[in-house]
Amino acid sequence: AQSVTQLDSHVSVSEGTPVLLRCNYSSSYSPSLFWYVQHPNKGLQLLLKYTSAATLVKGINGFEAEFKKSETSFHLTKPSAHMSDAAEYFCVVTRGNSGYSTLTFGKGTMLLVSP
């Protein structure tokens, strides 16, 4: 079984400051991990994906995440927040590279960006 814990339901930052969204996972298998973003009244967009290659994964819009097996973490970071980054972010785990797997979502972290 797998599970995901997003440690913060809301994170508030000022524009131009760093972003850190925290995620811990639990998985009985070698996991694939994802971050998705959902803007208001929009669908889910894939930000980045980890699948046992490089532990530091770069995604779209300047986001990146580092897979740390010893800490079972997959935190999402961005050096400088932009107003357009305000959205809800979901950390997601699946079974791994064994083919098709259903996704297990965290509860989400709402990122608020103030001017």
Partner 1 sequence: GAGVSQSPSNKVTEKGKDVELRCDPISGHTALYWYRQSLGQGLEFLIYFQGNSAPDKSGLPSDRFSAERTGGSVSTLTIQRTQQEDSAVYLCASSASSDTQYFGPGTRLTVL
Binding site for partner 1 (CB under 8 A): 32, 34, 36, 42-46, 49, 51, 90, 94-97, 99-108
**Nearest-approach distance from CB 27 to partner 1, in angstroms:** 13
**Nearest-approach distance from CB 76 to partner 1, in angstroms:** 17
**Nearest-approach distance from CB 44 to partner 1, in angstroms:** 4
Burial class of 77 by CB neighbour count within 10 A (0 to 12, 13 to 18, 19+): middle
Closer to partner 1 at the Cβ: 33 or 81?
33
Main-chain dihedrals φ then ψ at residue 61, nearest 5 degrees? 60, 30
Closer to partner 1 at the Cβ: 52 or 114?
52
